[in-house]
């Protein structure tokens, strides 16, 4: 008697780990970095590199497996994908391949009696909450990298700090919005990043983003910037711009300004300041990456 989990452990995982190790090495990672990324020992990476771990030919040849290795390899190499996100992506494919697909076929070959049995394996939900949260975190990381690589971005960081944020599809509170903890600050012309994106760490930008969504704007990503009339004018040539009241609470002011919004995203909203309130511009878009790319275009 052989369980499908044994097929996964003894054939699928060694093959995928070997493919991932090779992919990461091809992307320029050291043996130590590959071991860290995959959570395995350097000796294991060495075995993979020297072909000492057998690969299953049918698994290697499967286009979905090859696509997975490419996506996960790129995500781990760039830092856009965490180890948790990589694990989720691999688990999702495993469950799909277990459901009357490649792994089920390999299992039936190991257990011929299953071919005549009416067996259906339960699969993990490919749209589960953990996977969606990891997707949002990865998007914020990509948006952040876009801005950090853009010459001149630090000069647009307001005194209160900038941030890059993205909301979950059904976001209701700031705990459903991912952003950079502590905000981005300008340190002698360079952008200082306090830490990796997290959920629930940006009360200000998250509040504005949630208010825009509540008013009807089809947005999930946001970047806030120092108010600059020339920048605002340039943004306004390509995107709708809407002013909101700086003297009212942010959520209320944004909802009032965008109430019943029927336009497309992206949209630029701004306030020109008040007593004790710094003027700020917010670029709101479909996701954090789009918002960051828009900002980069006008630097």
Please state the domain extents for the chain: 4-114, 129-298
Cα–Cα distance, 236 to 241 (Å, whole number): 6
The conformational region for residue 261 under phi > 0 = left, psi -120 to 50 = alpha, else beta, is beta
pTM equals 0.81
Which has the higher per-residue pLDDT, 155 or 51? 155
Q: What is the pLDDT of residues 81-121, one digit of tens each?
A: 999 999 999 999 998 898 878 988 888 888 776 555 444 44
Q: Is the pLDDT of residue 78 over 50?
A: yes
The residue-averaged pLDDT of 255-279 equals: 95
pLDDT of residue 107: 82
- How large is the average pLDDT for residues 69-81? 95
189: left (phi over 0), alpha (psi -120 to 50) or beta: left
Written in H, E and C, the secondary structure of the chain is CCCHHHHHHHHHHHHHHHHHHHHHHHCCCCHHHHHHHHCCCHHHHHHHHCCCCCCCHHHHHCHHHHHHHHHHHHHHHHCCCCHHHHHHHHHHHHHHHHCCCHHHHHHHHHCHHHHHCCCCCCCCCCCCHHHHHHHHHHHHHHHHHHHHCCCCHHHHCCCCCECEEEECCCCCCHHHEEECCCCEEEECCEEECCCCCEECCCHHHHHHHHHHHHCCCCCCEEEEEECCHHHHHHHHCCCCEEECCCCCCHHHHHHHHHCCCCCCCCEEEEECCECCECCEEEEEECCHHHHHHHHHHCC
Confidence label for 122 from pLDDT (cuts 50, 70 and 90): very low
Residue 150 pLDDT > 70, yes or no? yes
Q: Is the pLDDT of residue 80 over 90?
A: yes
pLDDT at residue number 49: 80
Q: What top-level class would CATH report for the domain 129-298?
A: alpha beta
pLDDT of residue 50: 82
Asked whether the beta carbons of 69 and 16 are under 8 A apart, the reply is yes
For the beta carbon of residue 93, count every other beta carbon within 10 angstroms: 23
- Encode pLDDT of 191-225 as tens digits: 999 999 999 999 999 999 999 999 999 999 999 99
């Amino acid at each position: 008697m052989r369980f499908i989990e044994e097929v996964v452990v003894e054939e699928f995982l060694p093959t995928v780990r070997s493919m991932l190790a090779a992919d990461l090495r091809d992307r320029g990672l050291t043996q130590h970095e590959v071991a860290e990324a995959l959570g395995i020992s350097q000796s294991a990476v060495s075995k993979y590199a020297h072909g000492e771990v057998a690969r299953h030919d049918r698994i290697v040849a499967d286009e979905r497996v090859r696509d997975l290795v490419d996506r996960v390899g790129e995500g781990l190499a760039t830092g856009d994908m965490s180890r948790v996100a990589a694990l989720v992506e691999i688990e999702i494919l495993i469950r799909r391949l277990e459901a009357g697909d490649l792994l089920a076929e390999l299992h039936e070959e190991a257990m011929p009696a299953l071919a005549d049995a009416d067996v259906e394996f339960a699969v993990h939900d490919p749209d589960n909450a953990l996977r969606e949260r990891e997707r949002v975190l990865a998007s914020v990381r990509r948006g952040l990298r876009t801005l950090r690589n853009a010459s001149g971005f630090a000069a647009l960081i307001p005194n209160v700090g900038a941030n890059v944020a993205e909301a979950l599809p059904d976001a209701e509170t700031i705990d459903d919005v991912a952003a950079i903890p502590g905000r981005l600050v300008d340190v002698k012309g360079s952008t200082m990043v306090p830490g990796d994106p997290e959920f629930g760490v940006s009360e200000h930008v998250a509040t504005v983003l949630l208010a825009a969504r509540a008013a009807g704007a089809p947005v999930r990503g946001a970047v806030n910037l120092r108010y600059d009339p020339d920048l605002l004018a340039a943004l306004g040539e390509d995107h709708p711009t809407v002013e909101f009241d700086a003297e009212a609470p942010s959520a209320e002011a944004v909802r009032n300004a965008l109430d019943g919004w029927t336009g497309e995203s992206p949209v630029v909203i701004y306030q020109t300041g008040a007593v004790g309130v710094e003027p700020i511009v917010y670029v709101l878009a479909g996701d954090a990456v789009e918002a960051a790319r828009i900002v980069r275009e006008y630097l």
